[in-house]
Chain A
Amino acid sequence: DAEITQSPRHKITETGRQVTLACHQTWNHNNMFWYRQDLGHGLRLIHYSYGVQDTNKGEVSDGYSVSRSNTEDLPLTLESAASSQTSVYFCASSVGLAEIEQFFGPGTRLTVL
């Protein structure tokens, strides 16, 4: 069955380290998204991509970067992790039309000490 996976599921790192969170989908969806979710803030969009070689900044993109070299993967990199980036990160994908639902991965819980 097609799916969307994230790895690692849990990560503890130290301030200043570079961290990369993986997201992989097998639906062949054009669109992929990264969100963070914090208590009291709901889901906030970090970066998104409409296709290979396309990336766009979302609402809270500072300190994060993404790259889209193929359809299946959209890795999220924290260039220099900060304690404020402790959060749960969700990756999502959708076919490409506004009316179509997004499918979410299981999430990555990141703690920056």
Chain B
Amino acid sequence: RKEVEQDPGPFNVPEGATVAFNCTYSNSASQSFFWYRQDCRKEPKLLMSVYSSGNEDGRFTAQLNRASQYISLLIRDSKLSDSATYLCVVNIGTNAGKSTFGDGTTLTVKP
């Protein structure tokens, strides 16, 4: 079993739709969690960190469920520009920040 697992998709949704991705992790000692966005094989960039209390940034909401060991990303009112691959990243909390990346979920938003 992979340490971090994501549904690869692709998710094909119309503009304006709401879409949610889940990511499960196997190490219960994991302490920090992130969602990265990657456009067409360019470098990944941080989308948002995921906090225990959940967090929201505009149309994006991230949540953490420690009991079930998963994190989620909700995108509301999808835009064409949201089309990308979304990478789930988990860190076990060592001092120096070595992270494990999921394989990514591909989203395509269509007009």
Contact = CB atoms under 8 A, between A and B. Distances in A.
Given A50-B96, A90-B44, A106-B42, A101 B34 contact: yes
A104 B45 contact: yes
Interface string A93-113: 011111111101111000000
Interface residues of B, number: 25
A9 B84 CA distance: 22
B81 to A, nearest CB: 20
The residue in A90, A99, A101 that gathers the most chain B C-beta atoms within 10 A of its C-beta is A101
Contacts of A106: 42-43
A42 B96 contact: no
Nearest to A88: B41
Interface string A51-92: 000000000000000000000000000000000000010100
A30 interface: yes
A31 B103 contact: no
Contacts, number: 62
A31 B97 contact: yes
A34 to B, nearest CB: 12
B42 A107 contact: yes
Chain A interface size range: 20 to 34
Given A43-B44, A90-B44, A106-B43, A99 B96 contact: no
Contacts of A48: 98
B46 A101 contact: yes
A48 to B, nearest CB: 6
A41 B99 CA distance: 15
Given A104-B45, A106-B43, A97 B87 contact: no
B96 A105 contact: no
Nearest to B34: A101
A44 B104 CA distance: 12
Given A42-B103, A88-B41, A107-B41, A30 B96 contact: yes
Nearest to A90: B43
A25 to B, nearest CB: 13
6 closest residue pairs by CB, A with B: A42-B103, A104-B43, A43-B101, A101-B46, A50-B96, A98-B97
